[in-house]
Amino acid sequence: MMGLNYKRILLKVSGEALAGESKCGIDPGIINFVSQEIKSVVSEGAEIAVVIGGGNIFRGFGSSSKDLGIERTQGDYMGMLATVINALALQASLEDNGVISRVQTAIAMQQVAEPYIRRRALRHLEKKRVVIFAAGTGNPYFTTDTAASLRAMEIHADVILKATKIDGVYTEDPLINREAVKFERLSYIDVLNKNLKVMDSTSISLCMDNALPIVVFNLLGKGNLLKVVKGESIGTIISKANI
């Protein structure tokens, strides 16, 4: 049996991924599928934390926010609250699949979830509980990508797994341009210099400064998450060197 290439992982899931084809809200089939994928990894002995976005419910900074007269800071806080909704939904789905989990939020809401306490999160992971980090960093102007990088450093994750609907990083959007070429490996500098829309520049810089690898892969392929954790060559690896 193939061993685990990564023992402790930080899985970044966008809110949009949970919406499925409907673009907004939560698709029950998708969230159940994601829960089963996470369960397969936990069953192999990996420790997994999840940072989840909220774009399927509310995107803090965009034309719709401006049209409503919502300024950036207020909109970002609304987006953080949307991530809490997704985190609670994922927790319910995980536990329905027999996976023990905890939600920790960067904004205090003690009737709903635990506050983010690093040492408590580490203890949960050691006990093989899935930890879902919600509300981003708790600060406006920071994306959930940055929250993923920050939490990954704090829990000493071996890797960030960036879950998308596409099987890696391409020169262009492959859904628009079929001639787009997939990268097997990239360096952090390549991502920044080529302005590849993998994660925002702050999160990439954090990973670069701490030599934390990122794997971009298609979460919606059955068994893909476990394959990545076992080190199989799928997706795109972003690390110190691109060779």
Integer Cα distance of 85 and 66 in angstroms: 23
Residue 161 lies in a domain: yes
- Direct distance between the N- and C-terminal alpha carbons of the chain, in angstroms, rounded to an integer: 27
Q: What is the pLDDT of residues 99-110, one digit of tens each?
A: 999 999 999 999
Q: What is the pLDDT of residues 121-173, one digit of tens each?
A: 999 999 999 999 999 999 999 999 999 999 999 999 999 999 998 899 998 88
Integer Cα distance of 157 and 10 in angstroms: 6
Structural domains counted in the chain? 1
Residue 159 lies in a domain: yes
Residue 22 pLDDT > 90: no
Tell me the CATH number at 121: 3.40.1160.10
pLDDT-based confidence at 187, cuts 50/70/90? very high
Residue 2 lies in a domain: no
What pTM did the predictor assign? 0.93
Integer Cα distance of 78 and 123 in angstroms: 30
Cα-based distances in Å from 68 to 30, 71, 147:
30, 9, 26
Domain that holds residue 68: 8-239
Task: Determine contact, residues 121/49, Cβ cutoff 8 Å.
Answer: yes
Residue 172 lies in a domain: yes
- Which residue type occupies 163? A
Residue 1 lies in a domain: no
Q: What is the pLDDT of residues 39-52, one digit of tens each?
A: 999 999 999 999 99
**Burial of 57 per CB tally in 10 Å (0-12, 13-18, 19+):** buried
Residue 3 lies in a domain: no
